[in-house]
Structure 1
Amino acid sequence: MKFRRKGIFLLLIFSILLGFASPDSSPPNVVSEWLSVKPRHSNLLKDALTDGTSNGEPSELWSPLPDQGWRPCGENMRPVKPTNSSGYLQVFLDGGLNQQRMGICDAVAVAKILNATLVIPLLEVNPVWKDSSSFEEIFDVDHFIDVLKDDINIVKELPFEYAWSTREFYATAIRETRIKTAPVHASDHWYTENVLPILQSYGIAAISPFSHRLAFDNMPEDIQRLRCKVNFQALTFVPHIRALGDALVNRLRYPYSRSEPEHGLLHQFTYKKPEPKKFVVLHLRFDKDMAAHSACDFGGGKAEKLALARYRQMMWQGRVLNSQFTDEELRSQGRCPMTPEEVGLLLAALGFDNSTRLYLASHKVYGGKARLETLRRLFPLMEDKKSLASPEERAQIKGKASLLAAVDYYVSMHSDIFISASPGNMHNALVGHRTFESLKTIRPNMGLLGQLFLDKNMSWVDFRQAVVEGHHYRHGQLRIRKPKQSIYTYPAPDCMCRA
């Protein structure tokens, strides 16, 4: 009995330690969903590991995009700043960093449509990431105002007579100055008919919620160009984010420079700076929220399925459309985000090998180190913010999801190649921004990959051939925006002109 009690005590201590080791605050009984993580594609992985050490990378992988005949549009139209403002416009933006970024662009456009003075947008606390970062903590406010000074009036805060217009004021009752009914993808006419009268009557209007509340189609050309100007010129990160981003990029380009020994004056004349290395940024959004909402099977066994089902019930009362379908149905339709293992196999099949420098842009990985183990075996030179930056450098962004995402966004924009493991706001924002700058971006063919990963008997040779052929025209070639598509993902022809 004594030994039995001791064994139970040790098991309890072990469970508690495992619980503390997990990156989220889940109770210890959820740890079992992590312990069952194991490779799902062992046959492909075995050959990929061998292939990645014996063959060099194809040279065309790193070649820049050919000139496609499109450039960012010049300033052919002189902006006309309104002389008499119709009132103050407030917007309350929810979502993560990149959803808020698009909302900021739309807010400037709406202020222009209404001839209003824009108050620096208020960012809501994200319910998933629990981040309370303000606009001023993420973006360079003075730069934002300066770039747009000839387009609209912008103020950092409301004057004293309107200081009552706050989140708290609108949370307590229905207010005549708050617009809650702005439809998704509203037209410019909707704003002039429904919001302008409120501005003229009260001198202020607050729109909440606001995300995705401005249409992409049938907009005046000057409004579209203004949205582009905000996204690609006015929105820059605060100096300490840019400084940390530059440091990370430099360490990826020159991985050995930090450890180079100094040998006095002679060294200064004889030391030659090494050639810069190329690197890939992998945006790996594989958090528990995404995994649960996708309703796919990620290979974690019964414990993981139960844990994700409980999470779906807790977050969305089980109302997740995908949960009606089987994993095979979801994968065959390309609706399952790739696991770190699967995106590693994709990169290996495209020709990247174990000498590839990989930067992992990710806030939190569901499954922790166990989930990343296979990806790291394929790409041992994988880095992230924690491995590249010191604790002191990370202190200003620690615990701030939006600032962490901002650093990843900055590094992604300075990489040779960007690839995202799953569609989403970060993916869409960077695809559009890199298209605008003519930078190489690999877009995974999710439908094809879903079907390939379902075939457990496929050989590595056949898998690699299918991947290469299926991604031949998915390396960042410019695509013209279609109706209803976002100008922030497809900047041509609204933000770009033929050369």
Structure 2
Amino acid sequence: MAVTMAKQLSPQCLSGVSPPCSAFLVSEKWLRTAWACQWRWAISRSVLCGVMLFALGLVSLFTGQIAADLEWSRIRGRWRSKRVGYSTPTDIWKSEFANLYHGCSDRSPHFRDAVHDSESNGYLLIATSGGLNQQRTGITDAVVVARILNATLVVPELDHHSFWKDDSDFADIFDVDWFINSLSKDVPVVKRIPDKVMRSMEKPPYTMRVPRKSTPEYYLEQVLPLLLRRRAVQLTKFDYRLTNKLDEELQKLRCRVNYHALRFTKPIKLIGRKLVKRMRTMSSRYIAVHLRFEPDMLAFSGCYFGGGDKERNELGEIRKRWATLPDMRAEVERSRGKCPLTPQEVGLMLRALGFVNNTYLYVASGEIYGGEASLQPLKDLFPNFYTKEMLAGNDLKPFLPFSSRLAAIDYIVCDESDVFATNNNGNMAKILAGHRRYMGHKRTIRPNAKKLSSLFKACKQMEWEMFSRKVKLVQRGFMGEPDEMRPGRGDFHEFPSSCICQNPDHLVIGWISMKPGIGGNETVRQHATPEVEISGDESRFF
């Protein structure tokens, strides 16, 4: 055995054995040396194999990443819009690629029909929270949760106790019969729990509050057992209580609720359309600006807007309403992009983007902190300045005591505008941005507040042309183009990617739109509309 082993040893191993000892290879000392050499050789081979496997793993990881990038590039082709520099002319009123996409939220053939309410797992009651648009997200998600639980949804109860103190019910704002009928194939909806069922219940509905952005699994594991046991469950403070990440069919249900089932009542629609018509009579196109600059909103933000000690004291007193709010440093919040733009900053942003001073503006807002003094700089930049109060006159009187109905009127006029801009990314801004994307990517401008804040701070030290170029640069990706956000990222109500499809008669390849023709593919190159020139000395507004 020792002789056989000796033949297998490498010369390097044998070199460690002196010539006199070579005749005694079978000695015990030599055997120990031989075993050690063979062990070292085995370890070397193991290390070599390990290194090779590690290298193969790195190669596999690298090629896998390349494949993933290629796959994302293929998917991104659906959403790609033309990337332009700030020196390139662009149509500020309309996305060049708006006509390439459309909203698509139809049920798929395998999405089963809703059961009759008598065959469901019980009744789901919802108490929404916040203002109109925050409640709208709650209503939308409530329908999806009812579908997940196989429950009958009772028409949601609106919030009567929030800051707005609006006692409007669901039927005062939304067409309740349309809501019930349009969702009949998705979820059974009733106006109230039948009296017969209420009398048969041993206990009143179980009341609970679920965590924010809860998953379907949470509802099935935590809520469904209670629903089966008690026959009725009420979920309170229901806003953003369902995760953004759902399967595609449930996301499409969200869109059917938000963009089709939630239809305003006839009185609200009539006055909303009347205001749109009056804006169109004065100008063929207009910008709608949602201006959140109410005292409570500013106090909650913890930001400072240049009003000195008077502002600090007034907003500080309002801020005491929220005992749990942490102390905030105004400059830090502004540098993080958490502060809403002032009316003047909104005007400067729009003028820098290329909208001229004879552009018609519809401003949707509540009580503006600082009143007319705060609004005057915006009016100087855009003299054709209108609000619902200015356009509606006495027609608005029946709605004045109800903040949610006033917000619904603003929603209609903003949604119908050619361009929608906002001074912060609040609930109405997100809901409207999603709706406008669904309706064909109508131009929607969100301020890049984090980068704009430094520009506004330094604007007095630069020429208007330089300021305008920089604003256009930082607003890339915030102008409502189809590819501004990856599908599945962000708030679904703001970017409903599962419900947006590419039109079948257009293919977007790079910067070229391929439109199939009768005799083959017809290539249509995208041409930009000439940029509107800014006239006058704009630096006087700094």
2:298 is the alignment partner of 1:291: yes
8 Å Cα contact 2:434/2:495 also seen in 1: yes
2:114 is the alignment partner of 1:114: no
Please state how far the C-alpha of 1:498 moved relative to its aligned partner. Answer: 3.5
Residue 193 of structure 1: aligned partner: 221
**Unpaired segments ≥5 residues, structure 2:** 1-88, 504-542
Please state how far the C-alpha of 1:481 moved relative to its aligned partner. Answer: 4.9
**Helix, strand or coil for the counterpart of 2:461?**
coil
CA pair 320-74 structure 1, distance change in 2 beyond 3 A: closer
The Cα offsets for residues 336-365 of structure 1, whole Å up to 9 and x where unpaired, read as 111111111111111222211000011211
**Helix, strand or coil for the counterpart of 2:399?**
coil
**Which ranges of 4 or more aligned residues in structure 1 deviate by more than 3 Å?**
67-70, 161-165, 479-484
8 Å Cα contact 1:254/1:277 also seen in 2: yes
Residue 491 of structure 2: aligned partner: 486
Distance 1:320 1:457 in 2: 36
2:472 is the alignment partner of 1:468: yes
8 Å Cα contact 2:129/2:159 also seen in 1: yes
8 Å Cα contact 1:177/1:198 also seen in 2: no
Could you tell me which amino acid in structure 2 is paired with residue 293 of structure 1?
F
CA pair 424-435 structure 1, distance change in 2 beyond 3 A: same
Residue 359 of structure 1: aligned partner: 362
Could you tell me which amino acid in structure 2 is paired with residue 331 of structure 1?
R
Residue 231 of structure 2: aligned partner: 203
Residue 114 of structure 2: aligned partner: 81
**Helix, strand or coil for the counterpart of 2:184?**
coil
User: RCO greater where, 1 or 2, for CA within 8 Å and sep 6 or more?
Assistant: 1
**Unpaired segments ≥5 residues, structure 1:** 1-57, 166-174, 256-275
Aligned ranges 1:365-376 → 2 under 5 Å: 365-376=368-379
**Helix, strand or coil for the counterpart of 2:421?**
strand
Residue 444 of structure 2: aligned partner: 441
- Say which one has the larger Rg: 2
8 Å Cα contact 1:444/1:474 also seen in 2: yes
The Cα offsets for residues 309-348 of structure 1, whole Å up to 9 and x where unpaired, read as 11111x112x434x432x3332222221111111111111
CA pair 74-477 structure 1, distance change in 2 beyond 3 A: same
Pairing partner for 1:153 from 178, 188, 192: 188
The Cα offsets for residues 93-128 of structure 1, whole Å up to 9 and x where unpaired, read as 011111111111111011111111110000122421
Pairing partner for 1:225 from 235, 243, 252: 252
Could you tell me which amino acid in structure 2 is paired with residue 220 of structure 1?
D
TM value normalised by structure 1: 0.77
The Cα offsets for residues 151-194 of structure 1, whole Å up to 9 and x where unpaired, read as 111111221245699xxxxxxxxx87334241211111221222
Please say which of residues 482-491 and 352-361 is displaced more in the overlay: 482-491
8 Å Cα contact 2:127/2:156 also seen in 1: yes
Distance 2:325 2:487 in 1: 28
8 Å Cα contact 1:363/1:404 also seen in 2: no
8 Å Cα contact 2:205/2:231 also seen in 1: no
**Helix, strand or coil for the counterpart of 1:101?**
helix
Aligned ranges 1:194-343 → 2 under 5 Å: 194-217=222-245, 219-255=246-282, 277-313=284-320, 315-317=321-323, 319-321=324-326, 323-325=327-329, 327-343=330-346
**Helix, strand or coil for the counterpart of 1:298?**
coil
Please state how far the C-alpha of 1:422 moved relative to its aligned partner. Answer: 0.9
Please state how far the C-alpha of 1:201 moved relative to its aligned partner. Answer: 1.9
CA pair 296-496 structure 1, distance change in 2 beyond 3 A: same
8 Å Cα contact 2:205/2:230 also seen in 1: yes
Aligned ranges 1:54-73 → 2 under 5 Å: 60-67=91-98, 69-73=100-104
Distance 2:332 2:146 in 1: 44
TM value normalised by structure 2: 0.71
